[in-house]
Structure 1
C-alpha cells in the first residue's frame, strides 16, 4: 500500500508522520483537518496499543471557535461521505473536542489544553514512525 508523508500544518511543530492512506476514513479526516488549517497534526497508529480504534489523530486549533468549526465540518464531511454520523463530544467549551469516527479517534485542542494533557506522550508517540 502506498505510504504518504503528512507534514505538520505548522512548520517545525511536529516531525512528519508516515501513515498508510489505505484507510478511507483516515484519509478524509486528514484532508478535512488540513483544509481547515489544523496545526501540529499527529497521527498515531493504535495497532497493538488499544482496541478503541485503528488510528488516533491529534491536532490543534488557534481558538475555541476554530476547534469547534473543525469538529463540526469534520462531522459533516464524514456523514456526506457515507461514513455515518460521528459522535462529537466537547463542543460547548471547545477546549478539547473528541470526534469518534469509528476506527479513527480525533482529538482537537486549543494549544494550551493540548500541552496540559499531552496525549502524544501518553500514547507513546515517538517520532516520525508514530511507534513507541
Structure 2
C-alpha cells in the first residue's frame, strides 16, 4: 500500500473520532525523521486516546505495523509511528503551544481524502 493511501486511511480514522484540523505534511524535503507527518487534535484526553486507538485499529485491520505509540497515558500529545508516517495527535492546548505546522513551515501540505459529506 502506498504512503498516500495510508495517510488517507489514517486521516479517515481520525475524522471518524471527530479529530479537528487534520492536516498532512510532506516531510521528504525538510526532514529525515519521516516522509509524512499527520497532525490533528482532540478537545480532551479521552478523545485524544480514542483517535490514537482508531489509528492503531485501522492499521491492524490492514496488516500495517505500528512501530511505536508514545504518550498514550497522559494523552496530551500522542505520537503514532507508522514507519514513513508519523501521526501527532494533540490535546488542543498542546497543539497551539507546539505549533508543528509553523515549526515545519517549509513542508508542503498533502491533500486528504476525507469522506465528509455536506
TM-score, length basis structure 2: 0.83
Q: Distance in 2 between matches of 1:94 and 1:67?
A: 6
Q: Say whether residues 1:41 and 2:22 are aligned partners.
A: yes
**What does 1:6-21 align with in structure 2 at a 5 Å threshold?**
none
Q: How many residue pairs were aligned? A: 109
Instruction: Verify the 8 A CA contact 1:64 1:95 in the aligned structure 2.
Output: yes
1:1-132 alignment to 2 at 5 Å? Answer: 23-124=4-105, 130=109
1:43 and 1:57 in contact (8 A); partners too: yes
Please tell me the root mean square deviation across aligned C-alpha atoms, in Å. Answer: 1.9
Moved over 3 A (4+): none
Question: Contact 1:44–1:125 at 8 Å: present in 2 too?
Answer: no
Unaligned runs of 5+ in 1: 1-20
| Structure with the higher helix share, 1 or 2 | 2
Would the aligned equivalents of 1:78 and 1:86 in 2 still touch at CA under 8 Å?
A: no
Taking structure 1 as the reference length, the TM-score comes to: 0.75
In structure 2, stretches of 5+ residues that fail to align are 111-118
Structure 1 residue 85, shift from structure 2 partner: 3.1
